[in-house]
Structure 1
């Protein structure tokens, strides 16, 4: 599909973090101690449930992520996205659906025995940038020639699916901007290739996007933001028309109920901090698509302007699994 057509369909799509009536994404205090050996050696039979934090929670989050049932941004704290990941994984494996990491759920994940935290050394490319702070507001950001990462820490967070706060806690005193620095990071690479995907299912009731195989089995699930009362999710069966990588964003304030009074039509450059992130999966419903976001911590916790918003890494994984003509069902 031509880039111009993709850009036209992006008008009216979600801008992460601008919904005035969005449910607030509350910050969670990090557990006081989170040594790597504690996480890698966390007892697999330790129950993990709502309100828990710490080593066992982080181990479960990483194992779920590697099983393609994403808990969203890794943070070592059990929240709503982690609950949906557990529920989805349990249902896919025919386990009792409880939302708790019980013995049976740990056992089902137990086939993945590789360490969940590993060491890596920053190289020159990791810290080269360019990195620069992002100004507030669409008009100010539209003046930039690229919307890249603001820091190497932010870039590493996206690379390893982790909150910057978690990376800092795993690496106290480390310099994330120095080549040669050794870090401890989550090992998020899936152990097996993505199964063949036949359909996409977007479910507003639990704020998820699932990928289904030919038999209707869920093979991957990601947390998502899926519309709002102002821009409801367009329920129905739609077709995937194409995928655009590193899209620019054409902003029209008339299509946004919460636009600033002084905003004007403008174009925002490509980059991970672009309003639709690093990828746009175009749907046959005009102006709607599945896309990334510059604010992964808010996915599944704030509203969107009607489109389906994923973390950048989840959006990339989905974009590599779908094909033009594939059905995307959007349901309540």
Structure 2
């Protein structure tokens, strides 16, 4: 399988400025009421032709859009909008675009990854995405959305590989009878601490148990998940109660969105972008939630109307630190991140490898990190999806095959990446790579740089 990263390339600073009939909208959906004149921002164009205002780091400060579109309450004008499929000939020497020559510049922007506005660690660049890990959709394992894991990994994916046992953690206290709100409080606390339970959905499951065990190992403390008062106090000390409110902005409601994400890669390639399909999907990912749970706690709410107040999770401040080593634990279905002192600082549920497309064994290293990657499908390299037998170029977006982040590893074709289906993380197998939720992959990417060791253990 082949996949190439195509970031949001910015045009030179002399790009055309917006007219008076347009307004400037910040990534948060607010109208920009002034433009700094100290040289800290400049005009540019992204690779979709939008006029944008960027700062010296390449971050998008605001996007110019027609005032009528900003205040529009629907996006029907984008439905069923497809373009002809195009791709590179397999013999084209420029099939894999070269990586940028520097870490920060006009080829780098992180506007599509909400938490990536701060200064990024070194060695992060837009880069050629080798192979991803999604095969023929007919060969994918059956998914189970229940609390128990499905499609358990074999004890070893390669009978000739050396068995490397993963770390042994003290078992967590079993979760007793708890309300949905109590489980949510527990999930939010763990999420804030950097020990992710995956999607926050108010349900018990192995991802929550694994997060508790990793947190206990990292802190040396014991967490009683059934002690609601203790969990609430820990929440208070970590930033406040689990739930907060959010006002839907006009930019939230306007998108852009796509009507649906097809399974067929040729149809995916025809889409102008692989964005979210709805406001609820976007908000659920923004607040680390299961989309169905977001709707459940907001009964009767129309999420498409700007100004609507909705109940969401207060995710707090993302985990920070510098990762020196990553363990991809196949048995636990969990990624463990350690600092230079060998201290566990973060853990994330993951889908790692499968029997027919196993993940590697032993040590590899991080080569580079790509944000908002595009994806190039080439059936001659790894697999054929459906009846597609030609090279296809898929646009970037959170619903792309590798989500919003690709962390390339030194073993060709393997990487740590995001996913368009966060609720299935830790409950299914991946096709060789390490799959995390988009927000967990983003958090890990911010703490990781080239050269970091990644060890696969069983």
* Residue aligning to 1:55: 181
Contact in 2 for aligned 1:53/1:78 (Cα 8 Å):
no
Q: Report the Cα offset of residue 19 of structure 1.
A: 6.9
Instruction: State whether residues 291 and 312 of structure 1, in contact with CA within 8 Å, keep that contact through their aligned partners in structure 2.
Output: yes
Q: C-alpha separation between the residues in 1 aligned to 2:354 and 2:382?
A: 12
State which of 347, 363, 367 in structure 2 corresponds to 1:221.
347
Which residue pairs with 1:92 in the alignment? 218
TM-score by length of 2: 0.63
CA RMSD of aligned residues (A): 2.7
Match of 2:49?
none
Per-residue deviation, 1:108: 9.0
How far the C-alpha of 1:254 sits from its partner, in A, is: 4.2
Q: Is contact 2:189–2:231 with CA below 8 Å preserved after alignment?
A: no
- CA offset digits 1:171-222 (Å, max 9, x no partner): 111111110000110001237x512222111111101112111221111111
Question: Which residue, out of 314, 321, 327, partners 1:201?
Answer: 327
The answer to whether the aligner puts 1:22 opposite 2:148 as a matched pair is no
Contact 2:136–2:384 (CA under 8 A) maintained in structure 1: no
- Higher normalized helix content (fraction of residues): 1
Q: Does 1:101 align with 2:225?
A: yes
Q: Equivalents in 2 of 1:128, 1:77: separation in Å?
A: 31
Deviation at 1:53, TM superposition (A): 5.0
**C-alpha displacement of 1:259:** 3.0
Deviations 1:244-294 (A, max 9, x none): 111111112345557324443212110111100011111111011100011
Judged with a 3 Å threshold, the aligned counterparts in structure 2 of structure 1 residues 144 and 228 are, in CA distance, closer, same or farther, namely: same
Contact 1:119 1:185 in 2 (8 A): yes
Which entry has the higher C-alpha Rg, 1 or 2?
Answer: 2
Indicate conservation of the 8 Å contact 2:323/2:452, yes or no. Answer: no
Q: Which moved more, 1:309-318 or 1:248-257?
A: 248-257
What is the distance in 2 between the residues matched to 1:9 and 1:126? 29
Measured against aligned partners, the alpha-carbon deviations of 1:40-89 in whole angstroms (never above 9, x if no partner) come to xxxxxxx8717855110011011110111111011100112111111111
Match of 1:139, SS state, is helix
1:239 Cα deviation (Å)?
1.2
> Structure 1's 187 and 96: CA in aligned 2 closer, same or farther, altered over 3 A?
closer
Structure 1 runs not aligned, ≥5 long: 29-46
| TM-score normalised by L of structure 1 | 0.85
2:357 matched residue in structure 1:
231
For 2:456, the equivalent position in structure 1 comes to 330
Work out which of the residue numbers 168, 180, 186 in structure 1 matches 2:307: 180
Residues 104-253 of structure 1 aligned to structure 2 (within 5 Å):
106=231, 109=234, 111-112=237-238, 114-132=240-258, 133-190=260-317, 194-253=320-379
Give the equivalent residue in structure 1 for 2:441: 315
Output the CA distance in 2 between the equivalents of 1:168 and 1:136. Answer: 24
2:130 to 1, 7, 10: 10
* Count of residue pairs the alignment pairs up: 310
Q: What is the alpha-carbon distance in structure 2 between the residues aligned to residue 217 and residue 250 of structure 1?
A: 38
The answer on whether the counterparts of 1:160 and 1:188 sit within 8 Å (CA) in structure 2 is yes
Residues 123 and 180, structure 1, Cα contact 8 Å, conserved in 2: yes
Following superposition, the deviation at residue 15 of structure 1 comes to 2.5
Q: How much does 1:240 deviate? A: 0.8
Distance 1:122 1:288 in 2: 38
Describe the SS at the equivalent of 1:10.
coil
Distance 1:258 1:227 in 2: 19
Render the CA deviation track for 1:2-52: whole Å, top value 9, x for unaligned. 9635765432x2239947352522257xxxxxxxxxxxxxxxxxx871785
Q: State which drifts further: 285-294 or 255-264.
A: 255-264
* Structure 2 Cα separation of the partners of residues 244 and 280 of structure 1: 5
Cα 1:315–1:52 change in 2 (3 A) is same
Q: Compare 245-254 and 59-68 and name the one that shifted more.
A: 245-254
Check the 8 A contact 2:351/2:435 in 1, yes or no: yes
Q: Distance in 2 between matches of 1:79 and 1:215?
A: 31
Query: Structure 2 CA distance, aligned partners of 1:16 and 1:147?
Result: 18
Structure 2's unaligned 5+ residue stretches are 7-96, 100-126, 148-172
Aligned residues of 2:403 and 2:420 also touching (Cα < 8 A): yes
